[in-house]
Structures are given as C-alpha cells and as structure tokens.
Amino acid sequence: MIHLDHLEKSYPRSGGREYVLRNISLEIRAGEFVSIMGPSGAGKSTLLHILGMHDAEWQGTYHFLDHDIRTMPTAARLSLQRTHIGFVFQQYHLLDDLTVAENLDLPLSYRDMKKGERQARVADTLDRFGIVGKKDLFPSQLSGGQQQLVGVARALIADPSVILADEPTGNLHTDQGREIMELFTRLHAQGVTIVQVTHSETNAAYGTRVVRLRDGRVDTA
Ligand code: ADP
Ligand code: MG
C-alpha cells in the first residue's frame, strides 16, 4: 500500500544541507497498524507529512497504491489523497472561521455525496465523538483536547482507507485517549491501514508493528 525507497528530506543550511530523513526504505502493507516512535526531532512528523502528501520536497521514491507520487500530476495526487487518506495533525489544523460542524463537513464536500447524506454523516460523527453540544462553536472556543477530538473526527468522517495520525491522543485525558485507540483498533479490524506517531508505549501496543526513527533513520537495532 505504501512503499518508500531511499527517501530523503533535507533543508539547506549554510555550507550544505541538513538531513532530516536519511535513506528511509519502508513498506507498509494494507491493513497494518504501525506506530512510529522515536525521540523528539527524529523526523517522525516530517515522515508522516510526506506519507500524507502534504510535502512534495523530498528525494527518493514513494509509491502509494502503486502510484508513483513523485511523478504524479498535482491534481491527481490531491484526488488520491482526498479519497484515501485521513490525517490527524499534531497541531489540529482546524479552520478557525468554520464551526465544528463545518470543519467536519469539509472532507465530505470533496466527495460525490448529497447534502442530506453529508448532514446525516456529520450528525452521526458529532454523536459518536460526544461533541454534539459543540457543533456551532468555533475552534478558538474549544479546549486543546476538544480540538484534538474534532481533528480525529474530521480525519475519520469520510471513511479513509489509510489513517495517518500524529500523536492523536497527546492532549486527551487517559479515558478519551483509550477511546481513540479502541476506535483505531475497530477500524483496523475492518481493514483500515493506520500509521500513528506516538511517544506512548501503551498506544503503540494497540498496533501490530513499531517503526523506530532516530536522527532521521529507521533504527533497526
Ligand atoms: P519529530 O516529529 O520526530 O519530533 P520533526 O519531523 O518535527 O521531528 O523534525 C525533524 C527535524 O527537522 C528537527 O530537527 C527539526 O528541527 C527539523 N526541521 C523541521 N522543519 C524544518 C525547517 N523548516 N527547516 C529546517 N529544519 C527543520
Ligand atoms: Mg512531531
């Protein structure tokens, strides 16, 4: 499903380049639940953003469902991303001038879906995440934990085949965090591919494999 070969990411630095990801070769099969772990600054978020096709400035090869992401036209790549990927951002990235309900509707608006069906889907999701009472509020009116829940709900609402989640429970209470992991476990059982970045061994234990990053390299030790 996801295949990286000698992927590298670097930034220009005086007198050369600073490598953030180095020689990453990684295969993630459909239906896997992978946890990416490693110290702060190891390149975990950078890698996840490349997998999510938010970042096109890298070297090497990336195949997603047999599509060569490097050579794919931008519009086709965007369509692939919107059809298949649900992304939970570490910093939430909700749209500030849209309400919670409008934020949730956004991924559905890219689908060929009738208005009524979209509204029903948003209502179901608000209910499932226990945030019905927040639907008309703006992100700035929510706590960090509530924004994170909305971010997870938004990533899942359009039934993606792949979920990429950057520390999805980092700002949640223990109970809420466990609910998200249980939700991921159910989706995984239904065949959804999940890649999460986490610092928590407890969260990693919900997955089927751990990939450790250190200084931009996959740590095979
Ligand atoms: P992690 O998520 O594992 O904590 P990141 O992927 O966020 O790590 O960052 C990896 C490294 O990339 C860090 O050393 C960070 O300083 C560096 N980095 C991130 N963005 C930039 C940038 N725009 N310019 C230069 N270095 C950057
Ligand atoms: Mg990070």
Number of domains in the chain: 1
Q: Which domain holds residue 124?
A: 31-54+83-218
Q: What is the whole-number distance in angstroms between the Cα of residue 196 and the centre of ligand 2?
A: 11
Of the candidates 20, 16, 61, the residue with the CA atom closest to the CA atom of residue 42:
20
Cα(10) to ligand 1 centroid in Å equals: 10
Q: Of the candidates 31, 3, 162, which has an alpha carbon nearest to the alpha carbon of residue 86?
A: 162
Residue 137 has pLDDT above 80, yes or no: yes
Per residue in 109-135, pLDDT tens? Answer: 998 899 999 999 999 999 999 999 999
20 CB under 6 A from ligand 1? Answer: yes
In a domain, 199, yes or no: yes
At residue 220, the pLDDT reads 78
Q: Give domain status of residue 178, yes or no.
A: yes
Band of the pLDDT at 108, cuts 50, 70, 90? very high
- Whether residue 99 lies inside any domain: the answer is yes
| Residue 42 placed within a domain | yes
Asked if residue 74 is part of any domain, the answer here is: no
Residue 221 has pLDDT above 70, yes or no: no
The token pair at 141 is 């009116």
Pocket probe mutation, ligand 1, options 20, 37, 215, max atoms within 8 Å of Cβ = 20
Name the DSSP letter for residue 18: E
- 204: in domain: yes
Specify if 119 maps to a domain. yes
Considering the entire predicted model, what is its pTM?
0.96
Does position 177 have pLDDT exceeding 90, yes or no?
yes
Is residue 192 assigned to a domain? yes
Q: CATH code at 48?
A: 3.40.50.300
Closest residue CA from atom 15 of ligand 1: 41
